[in-house]
Structure 1
Amino acid sequence: MTLDRPTADPRAHREGAPPLLEIDRLSVDFRLDASVVHAVQDVSLHVRAGETLAVVGESGSGKSATALSVLRLNPSPPCVYPSGEIRFDGRDLLKLPEKDLGRVRGRDIAMVFQDPMTCLDPLQRVGAQVAEVLRHHTGLSRTEAKEAALAALDEVGIPEPDLRYRQYPHELSGGLRQRVMIATALVARPRVLIADEPTTALDVTVQRQILDLLVTLQHKHDMAVVLITHDLAVVAETADRVVVMNKGRVVESGGVLDVFDHPADDYTRRLLAATPRLEAA
């Protein structure tokens, strides 16, 4: 069986549609013993159903701290949220009780991380980890969850899903582990997918396959996607809009073509200038 959930209007990401996920003037601090690190300062962004929003910037710019804040996955302590709101379905996720937020994680908003080996349980078979998400969020029986997990592994292009279901993470290649992570994230049909540097640890060929897979699944399920990356070529190929971050702040945002063709901020211009290009001989 497969888990079927209603999808939004596929045209909903057009300009003027209400945001599905909205971050409003968010600040994130890490309060250490002798100092306070202001990792994110007054950041605002939004994404609509069916839309891909890319968040770009160099390491330390606040991209991941912002993304992890959506589901309050930054370690607390030392992380605190001194100001701002993160709204989803009319609720401020920063104020939700942990029990209620647990119902949102994986069910309505899911994440794919950079290194699946740090996220997958090395002692548990990969299929059981996918099925566990369904068991947690739905009333499916163990047999029904296994059937849905097998379908999810097949959907993300994993060959011989019956065999892979029984394997452990270390028995899979990096590309297959990342596909398992995507299957785990999407098996409950979330409305928002946050992909935090999902291809950085993979070789170029596998990167292309994973990105194509994310685009295909987004269109199939009409998800909103927030793509965290430093790769501007990926942004140009996959995103509708882009937010540029530097030193914890948003320095520029807009449509990808507008920002890339006519960057207004000097930091954006320097990022674009630093992108390798193949010049004709």
Structure 2
Amino acid sequence: MTTNRPTAEQSRPPAAGTPLLEIKNLSVDFRLETSVVHAVRGVSFDVRAGETLAVVGESGSGKSATALSVLRLNPSPPCMYTGGEIRFEGRDLLKLSEKELGRIRGRDIAMVFQDPMTCLDPLQRVGAQVAEVLRHHTGMSRAAAKEAALAALDEVGIPDPALRYRQYPHELSGGLRQRVMIATALVARPRVLIADEPTTALDVTVQRQILDLLVTLQRKHDMAVVLITHDLAVVAETADRVVVMNQGRVVETGDVLDVFDRPADDYTRKLLAATPRLEAA
């Protein structure tokens, strides 16, 4: 995907109000048999309602480990949360019990992953998987949850939702599976959506459709979105602010327009230099 830098006209004003999600000085280790990997080292950032915050960096920079830490989805062991806080509405998620965190996962904070085939149950119809989120978090009846799931499938642009509801993941294309993942994430109307490389496994045309969909739904529901990506083209087209990570640390953060025009860190400048650009003939 190619891109030009965002313009002042494209950049939205900063979201106002108290941050919905705050990560403060987070450190995460993976303790292996023969070594310790310091995957996240003192990372801090926040995101507000109606804002899209992009977290960027190359593979191994710690961005996905940071994102998964929000809902404590890193495998434990070997993962250890060795410092910092992750605060949502004033509560430190790292200190909650699994039962308490289970009430937040999928209801208040939801995630979309890069490969829906590893997240969708291959033995369960896709519609039932969307409806199960509502039944789990709201106690909604089976019939009411089905109606809400059909509406969610329709909202994310899946044609013939009644047919797709009855199908299994392997019967859908990659783009439709990702739309199902988005419907599953959004059906309970979370306040924060974390999207971890949501278009990596898709071709360029479908990537564009999925990104447009996320932007539309984010604005419709006034969600806070944390977008994890290595692709600065995606950042330019979707984000309000950007956090740049390298070797487990935040090296730069700021408004997208400012960071693209005046990068302060050498690593950010290298990332921007490596991004393909659409040049005039």
TM-score, normalised via structure 2 length: 0.94
Deviation at 1:272, TM superposition (A): 0.2
Structure-2 residue corresponding to 1:279 = 279
The letter of the residue matching 1:217 is: L
Structure-1 residue corresponding to 2:7 = none
Cα distance in structure 2, aligned partners of 1:136 and 1:194 = 20
Structure-1 residue corresponding to 2:112 = 112
Q: What per-residue deviation string (whole Å, max 9, x for no partner) do you get for residues 42-97 of structure 1? A: 00000000000000000000000000000000000000011000000110000001
Structure-1 residue corresponding to 2:82 = 82
Structure-2 residue corresponding to 1:185 = 185
Paired-residue identity, %: 88
1:234 aligns to what SS in structure 2?
Answer: helix
Structure-2 residue corresponding to 1:34 = 34
When structure 1 is superposed on structure 2, of 14-23 and 248-257 the one drifting more is 14-23
Structure-1 residue corresponding to 2:242 = 242
Contact kept in structure 1, 2:22 and 2:47, CA below 8 Å: yes
Structure-2 residue corresponding to 1:9 = none
Equivalences, count: 269
Cα distance in structure 1, aligned partners of 2:15 and 2:204 = 33
Structure-2 residue corresponding to 1:5 = none
Is 2:137 aligned against 1:134? no
Q: What per-residue deviation string (whole Å, max 9, x for no partner) do you get for residues 181-215 of structure 1? A: 00000000000000000001101111111011011
2:94 aligns to what SS in structure 1?
Answer: coil
Is 2:176 aligned against 1:160? no
Deviation at 1:16, TM superposition (A): 5.1
Is 2:263 aligned against 1:263? yes
1:94 aligns to what SS in structure 2?
Answer: helix
Deviation at 1:277, TM superposition (A): 1.7
- Please list every run of 5 or more consecutive structure 2 residues that lacks an aligned counterpart in the other structure: 1-12
Q: 1:117 to 1:15 in 2, by over 3 A?
A: closer
CA RMSD of aligned residues (A): 0.9
Q: What per-residue deviation string (whole Å, max 9, x for no partner) do you get for residues 205-252 of structure 1? A: 111110110111111110000000011011011100000000000000
Deviation at 1:280, TM superposition (A): 2.8
1:194 aligns to what SS in structure 2?
Answer: strand
Cα distance in structure 1, aligned partners of 2:140 and 2:252 = 44
Q: 1:159 to 1:15 in 2, by over 3 A?
A: closer
Cα distance in structure 2, aligned partners of 1:116 and 1:90 = 31
Cα distance in structure 2, aligned partners of 1:17 and 1:262 = 26
The letter of the residue matching 1:100 is: E
2:24 aligns to what SS in structure 1?
Answer: strand
The letter of the residue matching 1:111 is: M
1:201 aligns to what SS in structure 2?
Answer: coil
1:44 aligns to what SS in structure 2?
Answer: strand
Deviation at 1:279, TM superposition (A): 2.5
Deviation at 1:15, TM superposition (A): 5.2
